[in-house]
Structure 1
Amino acid sequence: MINHSFRFTHALCRRPARSVTQGLRAVDMGAPDPDLFDAEHSVYMDALRHAGAMVTVLEPLEEFPDSCFIEDPALCLKGVAIVLRPGTPTRLGEAAALKPVLEGLFPELHDLPGTGFVDGGDILCSDTEVMVGLSARTDRAGVDALRPLVEDLGYKLRLVETPADILHLKTESSLLDAETILATPKLAATGCFNGYRVIETAELENAAANAIRFNDPVFLSAGHPRTAERLDAAGYQVVELPTTQAALLDGGLSCLSLRFSLPGGLT
């Protein structure tokens, strides 16, 4: 059985622009350093390559400070790309800029119908479900428009009532394997992941929840030793990566790449 949720052949990344200093943030903890951000981004892409990814690197978009968070304007499932509509006015143009790239990669592409909003940071996919959390950037109209697209690909869509003080569903959760999710205690306590095994992040390590599983490794933001120990004890191959600059813009590991497999890429 192919695990479409964590077995991938490709990753699409966009280098941070110099304008990343103007990126969105819920709490201003200072602007990221563009050079350090680019260095951490390079380490991230090298880790993806080491895990087996063919990484396509796109040029920075200076007019869109948050465009290095390339996961937000699109969803890739089973060789199909869906161009999303993130609910932040300053980021609406990112989807249009990304669409021609996706058209060149994917044999099938869809635009999110209607006028609703869906941000990729609110989407967590297992092998059977697409879980979508409501947030300030993802609304019910957007979820309703996305539902038939993912159902046509054989997935069920699970609507998650994300707590209001959590920015995105994947800010506090990630997929470890087809049956297991890493989540903060607060998000896990809502019961939104019923049916899955949940490993909770350690106290004061909520940011560790935004991890990614890419083939064998689980990539974890550095600086969360007790959560790393929990994952190691559970049998996962943990690789820690620096995300100090992305964190200043409420970003983490998942939003820095679009991960996918193309037809014939996995057997």
Structure 2
Amino acid sequence: MSDRSYRFTHAITRKPAASIIAGLRAVDTGTPDLATMQAHHADYIATLRETGATVIELEALDAYPDSVFVEDTALCLPSGAVVMRPGAPSRLGEAAEMAPHLAALYGDIRRIEGADSFIEGGDILMTETEILVGRSARTNAAGIAELARLTADWGEVVREVHTPPGVLHFKTDCSLLDAETILSTTRLSASGCFQGYRLIDVAEGEEAAANTIRFNDLVLMPAGFPRTRDRLVQAGYDVREIGNSECAKLDGGMSCLSLRFTPKP
């Protein structure tokens, strides 16, 4: 499929839990407001549904404050799904909670199981030709190697890259816009990891705009970054801005809030 990395029939989301106020964060910029987050989350889901996709909204998991960020729990590919092994100990249970929902949609479910393997979906950028996985505080070499082994017979090519120092996830700093184009911060694109792709850099000072998602014909980006928005519009993308103020307090963005896929039975 020539557009497998941004055309999807399904998405899985999870309602924010009241315990979100205890969510992990690199820097404390304030406590998230649950009602505001719920409103933003509803806008996000409505926008995904507008593209014609089926959105499966799972119930909140109060035992897991970060569970709204479902992307970290799995990698959904055309041939099957791989359940991740999050590098944050408090999030290990989230992956186990997601597995049965994926099993209901996919015929082939695999799992990262190595005791020394850690990998989170936020560090994984799927393009048309390869899977880029950023080493980070949450994703290690063993996790990347295990993912490569698990997906080799599906024809997937995994390439290890590096998340910039002090950045939570690889996709905190980049996102796929189409088969040839990546939106990136200059600190990440300067590493040369996107050689061969067309690059659009976020505006200086708007680094938090780098985490968008291309979902069918729409690009969903966090609200409040007008210069980056204008760059995307000028490049011909249909952009939708979604409030992200509360998720941002927990280092979360557009990609973190959903698993996006077209299941193959």
Counterpart contact for 2:80–2:264, Cα < 8 Å: no
1:18-167 matches, cutoff 5 A: 18-115=18-115, 116-167=117-168
Alignment partners' CA distance in 1, 2:104 and 2:156: 25
Report the secondary structure of 2:76's partner residue. strand
Equivalent residue letter for 1:210? N
User: Helix, strand or coil for the counterpart of 2:104?
Assistant: helix
The ranges of structure 1 where at least 4 consecutive aligned residues each deviate by more than 3 angstroms after the TM superposition are none
% same residue: 53
C-alpha separation between the residues in 1 aligned to 2:93 and 2:72?
A: 12
Number of aligned residues? 264
Deviation at 1:112, TM superposition (A): 1.2
1:79 positional shift: 4.1
TM-score, reference length from structure 2:
0.97
Q: How many Å separate the matches in 2 of 1:216 and 1:143?
A: 30
SS of alignment partner, residue 71 of structure 1: helix
Q: CA deviation at 1:212?
A: 0.1
Deviations 1:19-72 (A, max 9, x none): 000000000011101111111101100000002210000000000000000000
Indicate the SS of the match to 1:101: helix
Q: Distance in 2 between matches of 1:131 and 1:2?
A: 17
Segments of structure 2 that go 5 or more residues without pairing to the other structure are none
Q: Give 1:107 deviation, angstroms.
A: 1.2
Shift of 1:173: 0.2
Residue deviations 1:55-99 (CA, integer Å, cap 9, x gap): 000000000000000000100000411000010011011011111
What is the CA–CA distance in structure 1 between the aligned matches of 2:221 and 2:9, rounded to whole Å? 20
Counterpart for residue 199 of structure 1: 200
RMSD over aligned Cα atoms: 1.0
Contact 2:134 2:162 in 1 (8 A): yes
Aligned-partner Cα distance in 1 for 2:226–2:186: 17
Conservation of the 8 A alpha-carbon contact between 1:222 and 1:243: yes
Whether the aligned pair in 2 keeps the contact of 1:128 and 1:154 (CA below 8 Å) is no
The answer to whether the aligner puts 1:7 opposite 2:12 as a matched pair is: no
Query: SS at the partner of 1:150?
Result: helix
Q: Secondary structure at the match of 1:72?
A: helix
CA distance, structure 2, for counterparts of residue 185 and residue 161 of structure 1: 14
| Counterpart code for 2:212 | A
Q: How far does the alpha carbon of each residue in 1:109-143 deviate from its partner, in whole angstroms, 9 at most, with x for none? A: 00113120001000000011000000000000101
Q: Is the 8 A contact 1:130 1:150 kept in 2?
A: no
1:180-222 deviation per Cα after TM superposition (whole angstroms, max 9, x unaligned): 1000011000101111111000011001100000000111111
AA in 2 matched with 1:69: F
Paired with 2:164 and 2:12, the residues of 1 have a C-alpha distance of: 30
Q: Distance in 2 between matches of 1:53 and 1:66?
A: 24
Residue 16 of structure 2 contacts residue 34 of structure 2 at CA under 8 Å; is this kept in 1?
Answer: yes
Taking the aligned partners of 1:125 and 1:42, their CA distance within structure 2 comes to 26
Q: How does 1:223-238 map to 2 (within 5 A)?
A: 223-238=224-239
79 and 38 in structure 1: CA distance in 2 versus 1, 3 angstrom threshold: farther
Letter in 1 for 2:139: T
How far 1:150 sits from its partner (Å)? 2.6
Secondary structure of the residue that 1:12 maps to in structure 2?
strand
Asked if the contact 2:79/2:154 (under 8 Å) is kept, the reply is no
